[in-house]
Amino acid sequence: MPQDVPPDFPPAANSSHDPFLVQFEERELANPFQWSRLRRWYISWVTGILVLNVFRDYRPIDGAVSYVPKVATLTISLFVTGYCVGPILWGPLSERYGRRPIFLWAFFFYTCTQLGLALATNATTVLVLRFLAGTFGACPLSNCG
C-alpha cells in the first residue's frame, strides 16, 4: 500500500472519518461563515468587477477595425481561444495553490498584456498579446463562481 494513503482508506461505511472533509477551527479567520457581511459583499463586488473588466476587453481593437478588418476579427478569435485555454490552467492551479494567489498573478499578467497591447507596433505582437490576454483574463471567469 502506498505511503501517502491513510491506512483506513477508503473509510468504512459506518466510519465518521472523511480524509477529504475540510473543517475550520473555531473562530478561524479563514472561515467564510465568520466573515462580516461587509467583507462578503466586498469580495463579491471585486470579483464581479474583475469579470466585467475582462468582458469589456472582449470587443475588437477600435483603431484596427477601420484599417484592417480581417486582423481585427482575428484578434477577437484569438481572445476567445485564450478564453477557452485559460480555464484549463486556472481551475487546477487554483485547486492546488488557492484562488487568491492565482487571481493576483493572472490579473497581474493580464494587466501586463494590456500594457503590451497599448505599446505594440506590429500585428504579430497584437495577435500574440490578445491570445495571452484571453488566457489570463479567463481566470476570474473560471474561478469566481
Write the pLDDT tens digit of every residue in 43-84. Answer: 899 988 988 888 887 776 666 566 667 778 888 899 999 999
Query: Do 143 and 94 touch, CB atoms closer than 8 A?
Result: yes
Average pLDDT, the chain: 83
Q: 140: buried, middle or exposed (CB in 10 Å: 19+, 13-18, 0-12)?
A: buried
* Best CA proximity match to 143, nearest among 96, 87, 82: 87
The identity of residue 96, as a single letter, is R
Burial 56-82 (b: 16+ CB within 10 A, else e): ebeebbeebeeeeeeebebbeebbeeb
